[in-house]
Structure 1
Amino acid sequence: MRFTCNFLFMCSGYYKYEAGYTPEFKGAADFAGRIVHPQKWTEDIDYAGKRVVVIGSGATTVTLVPELAKQAEQVTMLQRSPTYVVSRPAQDPVANKLRRNLPAKFAYHLIRWRNVMWGMFFFQLSRRRPAKVKDLILKGVQMALGPDYDVATHFTPRYNPWDQRLCLVPDGDLFKAIREQRASVVTSEIETFTHDGIRLKDGRELAADIIVTATGLVLQVAGGLDVSVDGRSVDFANTLTYKGMMYADVPNMASAFGYTNASWTLKCDLTCEYVCRLINYMDRHNFRQCMPHNDDPTITAQPSLDFTSGYVQRSIAKMPKQGSKRPWRLHQNYALDIVSLRFGRIDDGVMQYS
């Protein structure tokens, strides 16, 4: 099947959905139970009354463990190293009160901007005073798990806050499952899978009926499409990204790509607005084509994502690059992007029209 269009807007995210990342585990073929990656979860997986080991420490893991613990006999979160985990109420009482007492649209904007400003403040505080933020997070974990829990081993990462994403657990459900001994955390490296579970490098063995490999995701550009322009294959790894949404010397194509340090949809909303402004501008001036082009030799290419997470580092070489100056530089800042994308000029001297 073939589709044609005048403008292509990719809203496919940046994950490869066919399969997640699973390292090769020694002895995996010997395990008598079932091994499943969360991206390949199926309805026939029955974990009720079973012993489940979830390998990983990221957002998927901290979401799965308390949910599985509701029915499983025992759930073990097996991690090579810890991640920062923060508890957050599933419902925002302040937001609920504002919705009850204010007009809906006004309450929505107040809540949205409160959340945006708090997120920006916390991110900047993490960058400028990482030790203080680290201490704050760890004190919260210790309070949630009790004074005797070994937070230093299981919830104290080797890196600073926001060098990787923080994991949010609604209403502290992960901590509750651990306190109630329905779930446990083991921090160690895997030596091999065995017939009955996993043997660790420290000699311990974890019995399991099901092993969930929440070991990460695979990134890709433009939904994995092979893109060419006039017969020239586009190598995204050597292509600058324009305003975080278009690509140098690729005409009439944009991608929705969100923030890594805030809500993904904040940037996607602004991108959608900008694409609409761009198309309307082209219609008003009878342009058929728009294409960002860099002719500034002083602009240097830099990695588009400044994250130490494994899934980013495995794929960063394949991702488009950001430039050292606007409009090729990614701000990761909602306030600056509002100025640039909602109110900035469409004809900025970088975008070429014909």
Structure 2
Amino acid sequence: MSTQPNSPGNGIFDVLIVGAGISGINTAYHIQKKLPGSSYVILDTRSNIGGTWDLFKYPGIRSDTDLHTFGFSWSAWKENRAIADGESIARYLKDNAVQERIDEHILFQHRVIAARWTSSKQIWIVTTETSNGQQAEYLARFIVLGTGYYDYNEPLKANIPGLENFEGTTVHPQFWPEDMEYAGKRVVIVGSGATAITLLPNLAKQASMVTMLQRTPGYILPIDNATGNRWYHRIMPTSWSFQLDRWMFMWLAIVIFYFCRAFPSRARKMLESGVATLLPASISMDPHFKPSYKPWDQRLCFSPNGDFFEALRNGRADVATGKIRTIKGRKIVLESGQELEADILVTATGLKLVVGGGIQLTVDGRPVQLADRYTWRTSMLEDIPNLIFVTGYVNASWTLGAEVTAQLLCRLLLFMQSKGLVSATPRVSSARKLQPRLLWNLEATYVKRAAEDMPKCGDSGPWKGRTNYLLDLWRARYGSLVKNMDFAPEM
């Protein structure tokens, strides 16, 4: 066993958390508050707190949901802006970890490569590899995978014909070089998601021309990014007023999502009319801003203060729509015959989705294939004892999903302590065959490509996927803990 912070006397941690990002920090906070006598450790591959917000360095990196709900429920986001840059988010995470002394429980540069459950001892044996190549083992009763939803080490391979022929510089936003020079250069961003919408106005500040090349358009919602200036901020304590902001943004997201689902035609007209008023005369709505799918079949992209459209109006950015036929030298040739000149090609085509950070899991010597597993309360995996994985929502902020999971975990641990139980294993009843459902029900290409490797939800009971934060939070706090769950007593 390696030396670790706050090591328990018997060498076995009650909870081992993988990841020092939003999910890990939030889980640690709830464990400290609700189970103060429990021991825990956080293991992280990187050298800093922050996860995604410490990794991504591309120009303008920012949240794609509002920070009032993306921030923690126990520490209100107090800046007067809803969408914030990555550096500010990383600072917010670090400040809260230090304030709550969670940082004292973190071991950095410890990459978890394997975790094996042994029923004879009712523990997890977790193998890590440090930055200098040394391996160590940690023992834990419970594991929490706060590893996010994508591969930190490998980007999604861009399916672009002739990409290998490009004579300029190709870069993926996930691994943006610190010394990347783009001032005065022609940049083409392939993609139309949140990353592309963020990159375009920021690159346009220095590049000679930035073109967003999209195969199909997406929905973009310009928003006023200023918060914290409403009347109740002047009469209420700061902690109250920003908590009120949190609830207002939470309800706004719910209303927008269900309005789009219930009235897709009307929602489409509203979203498209909002875009039409911001476009320059040189750029037409059709085909560039006429999505072929319904609102919220894919995530909406936010443009704080309409910065995306401002870049288009300034004439230093443009949009092209169509499929790439091939690439010749520095020319990107579309099937329509249109050619785009580029010095830099940015492949903002999505992330390679991975649940559990690619950790090799075994249960009593048998390898675990995540794609074969149903998810219990979208937090535990079928036939895998004492393992929690954290995931967010497709229609709301990631942190809300992390909050639901942390509340469920702590309640489950308290229940097990009160009953003298040492393990909990979700089991699918043999009396009913579940109908599989996607873990994330989105039409995005990168989600579809990963579906066959992801765990799945069911169509009934605790196997159903999450629907909305408020309902899921109620279930986490008051729903059944014993339905479709096997428990083992202390030996």
Q: TM-score range by the shorter chain?
A: over 0.9
Displacement, 1:25? 3.2
Instruction: Indicate the residue corresponding to 1:64 in structure 2.
Output: 199
1:5 aligns with 2:5: no
| 1:28 corresponds to | 163
| Larger RCO: 1 or 2 (CA < 8 Å, sep 6+) | 1
* 2:302 alignment counterpart: 168
State the match for 2:240 in structure 1.
106
Q: Structure 2 CA distance, aligned partners of 1:133 and 1:24?
A: 31
Secondary structure of the structure 2 residue equivalent to 1:317:
helix
Q: Which runs of 5+ in 2 are unaligned?
A: 1-134
Which residue does the alignment assign to 1:313? 448
Quote how far apart the aligned CAs of 1:176 are.
0.2
Alignment partner of 1:152 is 2:286? yes
Partner of 1:249: 383
1:201 aligns with 2:335: yes
Moved more, 57-66 or 146-155: 146-155
Shift of 1:148: 6.4
> Is the 2:220–2:271 contact (alpha carbons within 8 Å) kept by the matching residues of 1?
yes
Q: Which residue of 1 aligns with 2:42?
A: none
- Give the C-alpha shift of residue 24 in structure 1: 4.3
Structure 1 counterpart of 2:255, from 107, 114, 121 = 121
Measured in 1, the distance between the counterparts of 2:165 and 2:441 equals: 39
Q: d(CA) in 2 for partners of 1:190 and 1:298? A: 43
Whether 1:78 aligns to 2:213 is yes
Question: Secondary structure of 1:244's partner?
Answer: coil
- Which amino acid in the other structure matches residue 357 of structure 2? G
Q: Secondary structure at the match of 2:329?
A: coil
Gaps of 5+ in 1: none
Q: Which runs of 4+ in 1 moved over 6 A?
A: none
Q: In the alignment, residue 337 of structure 2 is paired with which amino acid?
A: G
Aligned pair partner of 1:272 in 394, 398, 406: 406
Query: 1:55 touches 1:213 (CA, 8 Å); kept in 2?
Result: yes
1-structure distance, mates of 2:139, 2:265? 53
- 52-61 or 107-116, larger mean C-alpha shift: 107-116
Matched, 1:49 2:184: yes
- 1:8 is displaced (CA, Å) by 0.4
1:300 corresponds to which of 418, 423, 435: 435
**What SS does structure 2 have at the residue aligned with 1:154?**
coil
Percentage of matched positions with identical amino acids: 39
SS of the residue 1:191 aligns to? strand
Counterpart Cα distance in 1 of 2:470 and 2:156: 34
Residues 260 and 332 of structure 1 are in contact (CA less than 8 Å); yes or no, is this contact kept in structure 2?
A: no
Cα distance, 1:93 vs structure 2: 5.3
Tell me: CA distance 1:24–1:161, structure 2 relative to 1, closer, same or farther (3 Å): closer
Q: Distance in 1 between matches of 2:328 and 2:433?
A: 56
**Kept in 1: contact 2:378–2:465 (CA 8 A):** yes
String of CA shifts for 1:177-230, please: whole Å, max 9, x gaps: 001111000112112112123122222221111111111111112111121111
Q: Do the aligned residues in 2 keep the contact of 1:197 with 1:209 (CA within 8 Å)?
A: no
Counterpart contact for 2:228–2:242, Cα < 8 Å: no
Q: CA deviation at 1:146?
A: 4.7
**Root-mean-square deviation over aligned CA pairs:** 1.6
TM-score normalized by structure 1? Answer: 0.95
Deviations, residues 86-134 of structure 1 (Å, cap 9, x unaligned): 111222255x543332123322332222111111111111111100000
Normalized against structure 2, the TM-score is what? 0.69
Contact 1:261–1:332 at 8 Å: present in 2 too? no
Q: Does 1:238 align with 2:372?
A: yes
- Asked whether 1:227 is paired with 2:361, we answer yes
Paired letter, 1:286: G
**How much does 1:331 deviate?**
2.8
Say if 1:189 and 1:200, in contact at 8 Å, map to a contact too.
yes
Counterpart amino acid of 1:207?
A: E
Instruction: Tell me, in whole angstroms, the C-alpha distance in 2 between the residues paired with 1:26 and 1:334.
Output: 41
